[in-house]
Amino acid sequence: MKILVADDDPVSLRMIERMLQRSGYEVVTAENGRQAANILSSPDGPRLSLIDWMMPELDGPGLCREVRSRNDEPYIYILLLTSKQSSVDVVNGLKAGADDYLTKPCAPAELEARLNTGRRILQLEDKLVEAREEMRFQATHDVLTSLWNRAAILTLLRGELSRSVRDESAVSVLLCDLDHFKQVNDVHGHLVGDEVLQAVSERLLGSVRSYDAVGRYGGEEFLVVLSRCVGDDLEHRAEEVRRAINQSPIQAKSGPICTSVSIGAVTVEHWDETLPIEQLLSQADQALYQAKAAGRDQVVYANSLEAVAQ
């Protein structure tokens, strides 16, 4: 594990550095508080630190306050090393943001034990952050396909519409529905149907730009939000999506499954934020219905919402 050791005494710095290296630490050193603060603020900076109280430019408590004021993630564990032994000084150091302290001279065994405590706390924090991110992911993503779920993709669409009002730019939406998907479930079973949905999701993601959004709208329907995409660009993008789905059979466990998608596309030129988002979705749904009625595996473009939304 990487650790920062900050001490303006070069002899003490080298001694602690060698001791920690023997214990398996990757040691980064600093000779003053300002240098230490810069190291801790770097993207790949150490998360475990041993900081001397008295240093030029920025002392240990000052360094603690600066680190804590940034509210950085992940957490940085700070162990203060000090010759001060009064309870007032210790309390001030802890109030400044230190997690623990050691008085000089310190026994190597005690230093190692306290650093191990810091490592355990950091490991616990990592697990809590991982659990939090997993909960956040589950709350916003579809379990089967890992795409944005319905609530999340609609939230993203609202945000994109608001941005388009500020930027005076267009937003386009593709409402995509897999053709004859019920037949896939009826003939091959729902597990194969799930495989198809997962494969289609991957193809959808691969056919749009990195800053576009793809969500599972419901069942075998998907919603694609395309920012700053209109006219020829929209036609090109919509055809890319359609071809990505029907370009080759999906290799399911039961064998190859041919599939295609019908798409209803609509562009918003000037969105009126007082309008319900359902008006936009209704336009896309009507265009999708026309694509289905016309024989499927095609894109139908609804009229721009510019006249409606003004």
Cross-strand pairs, 6: 30, 51
Summarize pLDDT for 221-269 with one digit per residue, the tens: 999 999 999 889 999 999 999 999 999 999 998 899 999 999 999 999 8
pLDDT for the residue 305: 47
| Short-list 310, 308, 286, 306, CA closest to 170 | 306
From the number of C-beta atoms within 10 Å of its C-beta (0-12, 13-18, 19+), residue 197 rates as buried
d(CA 111, CA 102): 8
- pLDDT for 309 beyond 60: no
Share of the chain above pLDDT 70, in %: 96
pLDDT for the residue 83: 80
Summarize pLDDT for 146-202 with one digit per residue, the tens: 999 999 999 999 999 999 999 889 999 999 999 999 999 999 999 999 999 999 999
This prediction's pTM: 0.71
Q: Which CATH number fits domain 2-139: 3.40.605.10, 3.90.226.10, 3.40.50.2300, 3.30.420.40?
A: 3.40.50.2300
Tell me which residues are annotated as active site: 220
pLDDT for the residue 310: 29
d(CA 67, CA 198): 44
d(CA 246, CA 125): 46
Please tell us whether the domain made up of 150-309 is placed in CATH 3.30.70.270.
yes
Domain layout of the chain by residue ranges = 2-139, 150-309
- pLDDT for 214 beyond 70: yes
pLDDT for the residue 88: 83
